[in-house]
Structure 1
Amino acid sequence: MNIDQTVTRCQTAGVRLIRFLYCDNGCIIRGKSVPIERLASRMMSGQGLTVAMQAMNMLDRLQPVEGMGPVGEIRLVPDPDSLVILPYAPDSAAMMCNMIKLDRQPWEVCPRSFLLRMLHRLTEVGITMQAAMEGEFTLLREESPGQYIPIDTGLCFSSISMMATAEVANAMVAAFEDQGISVDAYYPELGHGQHELPLRHVPALRATDNQIQFRETVRNVAAQHGMIASLAPKPIPDQAGNGCHIHWSLWDLEGNHSLIYDPNDPYLLSETGHHFIAGVLAHLPGLLALTAPSFNSFRRLKPHSWSSTYTAWGPDNREAAVRVVSGKWDTEADTVNLEFKAADASNNPYLALGGLIAAGLDGIERKLMPGSPTLVDPGNLSEEERRQRAIYPYPIDQNQALDALAADQVLMDALGPDLARAYLAVKRSEYTAFSEADIEFEIKHHLYKF
């Protein structure tokens, strides 16, 4: 859509305020709202934002990053193709924004611009990407200040849990439909109060924009029903954690032919698919700092938890870091896809998917191979068996993952020096804050913010 079409659509829908949204280096969704009478001019000129916001962590503590203090401004410039009318907020709409410098060039510290750069690199080698996020969340009620009770204690995929959430789940699906976001399925998950609403695959940029709206929609619709929806990795420490698995497939530039499918391979996986997986596995320690980036993330990444804890891959192996997802009957050529397990909704989806692409491209460029697939839970192998198969454990906490990212030249080069420096400063400050506090402080600050 162009500016005039965007304004007309908002006027027709009775919109009064339009949110210019972005996701920051603390992986928090932030933004500013523009009144409808200012929309056209602000879409052309952008909405001003201090450069300091990309040095702000998830505790709203500004970090000392060079060039990101009180002096300096960028513009939030919305992408009209990301426009959604918000069904949970009266007379409101939202668009995702790119961060643009005053010289009209993309700001080097903009996460969405980083993903756009990585998608351009894909097209340079004749590849496009389809992606989808598979979001889990926990529905809670606050019984007293700081005391949260799951809305149900039903079993995994239980019809009892479906009935406990029938009204709110229906409202969430309706809200996604109103925004033009397709839901793939709905079902209760393993943890108490835990549910899942995977979205349908779409082009990669749209998938990340959808993930922002997923977080916003799930939380706000739940609130309208008197519930708290937390997408935090471990909002209840003794229950199953919430993932946000990344599904993706690679296609030719016309989007007609899958580049990861090979009918002659035992696992229907092409040479390009093998190379991409190998790149992801090679960079996985540092990649975790982008895909499972919070202090709370590492409570979820434990052995035998179906969240993955080792650099393994395999066909329909839900304990592997990368799962080759079997295709649907009679349409395997179009439906075989790859799933990255070590991701959750405390990430910035633009950084997470951009990092995944950078890792996979390195695998393609160097023609890396991932080794033999793992056909068992890698946690059940002995250390020696894992060593022989080149299967390695993940970093054990946020700090180790950040160290791995800082040491990964491929990922650091992809991010660029400015974005990498700011991101590491923000995330290291969060590690320091949470490692010095108790678990109640950790849960309080993750439960509400994700």
Structure 2
Amino acid sequence: MDQLDTATRDARRSAAEALLPELEDAGVTAVALPWVDTSGITRVKTVPLAKLPSAAQWGVGMSPVFDGFLLDDSIVAGRFAGSAIGDLRLHPDLARLTVLAGQPGWAWAPVDRYTQAGVPHVQCSRSLLRRMVSDLGDLHVRAAFEVEWVVSRPDGTPEDADAFVPALSGPAYGMTRLAEVSDYGRDLLDALTEQGVAVDQFHPEYAAGQLEVSVAAQDPVAAADTALLVRATITAVSAQHGLRVSFSPKVTADGVGNGGHLHLSLNRGEENLMSGGEGTFGLTPEGEGFTAGLLAHLPGLLAVGAPSVASYLRLVPSHWAGAYAAWGLENREAALRFVTGPDGNRQASANVEVKSLDLAANPYLLMAGCLAAGLAGVRAGARLPDPVGVDPASLTDEGRREAGIRPLPASLAEAVQAFESDEVLTGAFGEELSATVADVRRGEIALFDGASPEAVCRAVRWKH
């Protein structure tokens, strides 16, 4: 993304002005301009509808201090973040402007962050992802996040107003649970459809009060935008139904937590490189290289994909969380689950699912890291080890060593160390953003130093 010049600014203003009549007819009063900080919290500024052309042309002011925010709104004085000095401009992406069906009177447009001089902010994760997409050259990636969440009655208990009180009592994946949220689920699906989100599946999940929605694959920037929009819509529709919602990786210390699995496929033109090749399960050499790159860099990727102390209360063996650096066909205990899809449809559906991730992640940072890792594997002609067809936890330590199966970081501190030593990831992110990721993660580690799992879960429960 180049510096904003006068012609570009004028074109953006004209495009926004052209949208005003349609937005007025839709009853829009104001536009929300969200971005995601380093801790994975979605922050926002808003403008009245009449100010949208000005926002498109000149941006909306916002301090760069948010790069150093922790999830409790305290601020890390990092090497390149956390200062009260300076200002940035939030520029809405009008191509993604959406009238919010779950929030009448509001529209939504994700932003890119620029300096006052019109240069992309070096720590803007959305701009980083755009650059990583351009680095793919003639390759392109299709991606989609799965979104898991829990719904709670909002009143908690007399002893604890912030307690999690599951709003569903039916069994995991049960039809009775679906019946309990029939009206809520209908309204949510209607809202997503009205907003142009293509939903593939909606169903009750395993944990208490847990639901999941899966959406269609898109290009990486669009997929990250959609992940934000889906979560905003879930939150809004839940509020309309008197429900409180949590996307936290660990809602209660004894629960399984919410995942944020990411599905990726590598393509060239109309060809899905995850299928139709002579490699294992039909992988082409480039598809294998991409998957091998993900596997090799997964320990460091967890610093952005499982970025909270709470993430490592979820990321444990034998809980379908993918706690081991292994890959396998439809193996839900492997960190990378390879999905071929049904016979006759593999060119359309073959992909790799990264299971070790959760929704505390900034989706732009995470997606950018995955593209950097996968592309490094393609360029190096990387090859995968043998696939794993069992739960890695069922093997002995010796058996895992012989199979080349490594445990993934068991703490945020370990993930940060892996990230800082990963030259592919830090090279892609750049010095300033890499330092801020590490500084913010260490800030959260210090925040929860000595805290019990119960205290950690309570502290993060309603943050994501």
TM value normalised by structure 2: 0.93
Deviation at 1:399, TM superposition (A): 1.3
Q: What residue in structure 1 maps to residue 100 of structure 2?
A: 86
1:39 equivalent in alignment to 2:55:
no
Q: CA 1:414 to 1:67, structure 2 compared with 1: closer, same or farther past 3 Å?
A: closer
Q: Distance in 2 between matches of 1:354 and 1:285?
A: 15
1:328 equivalent in alignment to 2:342:
yes
Q: Distance in 1 between matches of 2:193 and 2:388?
A: 38
Offset from partner CA, 1:303-331 (integer Å, 9 cap, x none)? 11011111100111111111111223422
2:265 counterpart letter in structure 1: S
Q: Distance in 1 between matches of 2:277 and 2:375?
A: 23
Q: Distance in 1 between matches of 2:80 and 2:150?
A: 38
Q: Distance in 2 between matches of 1:435 and 1:8?
A: 53
2:284 counterpart letter in structure 1: S
Q: What residue in structure 1 maps to residue 3 of structure 2?
A: none
Q: What residue in structure 1 maps to residue 156 of structure 2?
A: 143
> SS of the counterpart of 1:239?
coil
Q: CA 1:143 to 1:67, structure 2 compared with 1: closer, same or farther past 3 Å?
A: closer
Q: What residue in structure 2 maps to residue 197 of structure 1?
A: 213
> SS of the counterpart of 2:229?
helix
Offset from partner CA, 1:373-424 (integer Å, 9 cap, x none)? 1111111111112112211001111111111111111111111111111222
2:99 counterpart letter in structure 1: I
What does 1:107-126 correspond to in 2, within 5 Å? 107-122=121-136, 124=137, 126=138
1:342 counterpart letter in structure 2: S
CA RMSD of aligned residues (A): 1.5
Contact 2:80 2:432 (8 Å CA) reproduced: no
Deviation at 1:66, TM superposition (A): 4.2
Q: What residue in structure 2 maps to residue 130 of structure 1?
A: 142
2:141 counterpart letter in structure 1: M
Q: CA 1:67 to 1:185, structure 2 compared with 1: closer, same or farther past 3 Å?
A: closer
Q: Distance in 1 between matches of 2:224 and 2:404?
A: 32
> SS of the counterpart of 2:118?
coil
Within the candidate set 408, 411, 426, 2:440 is matched to: 426
Contact 2:329 2:387 (8 Å CA) reproduced: yes
> SS of the counterpart of 2:47?
strand
Deviation at 1:5, TM superposition (A): 3.6
Q: CA 1:195 to 1:52, structure 2 compared with 1: closer, same or farther past 3 Å?
A: same
1:349 counterpart letter in structure 2: P
Within the candidate set 179, 183, 192, 1:176 is matched to: 192
1:215 equivalent in alignment to 2:231:
yes
Deviation at 1:67, TM superposition (A): 5.1
1:395 counterpart letter in structure 2: P
> SS of the counterpart of 1:147?
coil
1:298 counterpart letter in structure 2: Y
Q: How many residues align?
A: 446
2:416 counterpart letter in structure 1: L
Offset from partner CA, 1:103-125 (integer Å, 9 cap, x none)? 21111100111111111111x2x
Contact 2:252 2:458 (8 Å CA) reproduced: no
Q: Distance in 2 between matches of 1:100 and 1:302?
A: 39
Is 344-353 or 230-239 further displaced after alignment? Answer: 230-239
Deviation at 1:90, TM superposition (A): 2.8
1:262 counterpart letter in structure 2: G
Q: CA 1:77 to 1:160, structure 2 compared with 1: closer, same or farther past 3 Å?
A: same
Q: Distance in 2 between matches of 1:334 and 1:4?
A: 39
> SS of the counterpart of 1:303?
coil
Within the candidate set 52, 65, 69, 1:52 is matched to: 65
Deviation at 1:191, TM superposition (A): 1.1
Within the candidate set 20, 27, 33, 1:14 is matched to: 27
Offset from partner CA, 1:16-75 (integer Å, 9 cap, x none)? 110111001111101110111111011100001111111111111111134541221111
Q: What residue in structure 2 maps to residue 283 of structure 1?
A: 297
Q: What residue in structure 2 maps to residue 271 of structure 1?
A: 285
> SS of the counterpart of 1:267?
helix
1:98 counterpart letter in structure 2: D
Within the candidate set 199, 203, 206, 1:187 is matched to: 203
Offset from partner CA, 1:321-371 (integer Å, 9 cap, x none)? 111112234221121111110111110000111111111111111111111
Q: CA 1:338 to 1:5, structure 2 compared with 1: closer, same or farther past 3 Å?
A: farther
Consecutive aligned runs of 4 or more in structure 1 exceeding 4 Å deviation: none
Q: What residue in structure 2 maps to residue 152 of structure 1?
A: 168
> SS of the counterpart of 2:165?
strand
1:165 counterpart letter in structure 2: V
Q: Distance in 1 between matches of 2:18 and 2:70?
A: 36
Q: CA 1:259 to 1:297, structure 2 compared with 1: closer, same or farther past 3 Å?
A: same
What does 1:238-253 correspond to in 2, within 5 Å? 238-252=254-268
1:23 equivalent in alignment to 2:36:
yes
Q: What residue in structure 1 maps to residue 6 of structure 2?
A: none
Q: Distance in 2 between matches of 1:175 and 1:42?
A: 26
1:135 counterpart letter in structure 2: V
What does 1:277-426 correspond to in 2, within 5 Å? 277-426=291-440
TM value normalised by structure 1: 0.96
Deviation at 1:165, TM superposition (A): 1.3
2:218 counterpart letter in structure 1: V
Deviation at 1:148, TM superposition (A): 2.0
Q: What residue in structure 1 maps to residue 9 of structure 2?
A: none
Q: Distance in 2 between matches of 1:395 and 1:199?
A: 29
Is 326-335 or 70-79 further displaced after alignment? Answer: 326-335
Within the candidate set 101, 116, 125, 1:102 is matched to: 116
Contact 2:315 2:323 (8 Å CA) reproduced: yes
Is 66-75 or 196-205 further displaced after alignment? Answer: 66-75
Deviation at 1:187, TM superposition (A): 1.1
1:233 equivalent in alignment to 2:249:
yes
Within the candidate set 9, 16, 22, 1:3 is matched to: 16
1:97 counterpart letter in structure 2: V
Q: Distance in 2 between matches of 1:321 and 1:170?
A: 33
Q: Distance in 2 between matches of 1:424 and 1:301?
A: 20
Q: Distance in 2 between matches of 1:204 and 1:211?
A: 11
> SS of the counterpart of 2:43?
strand
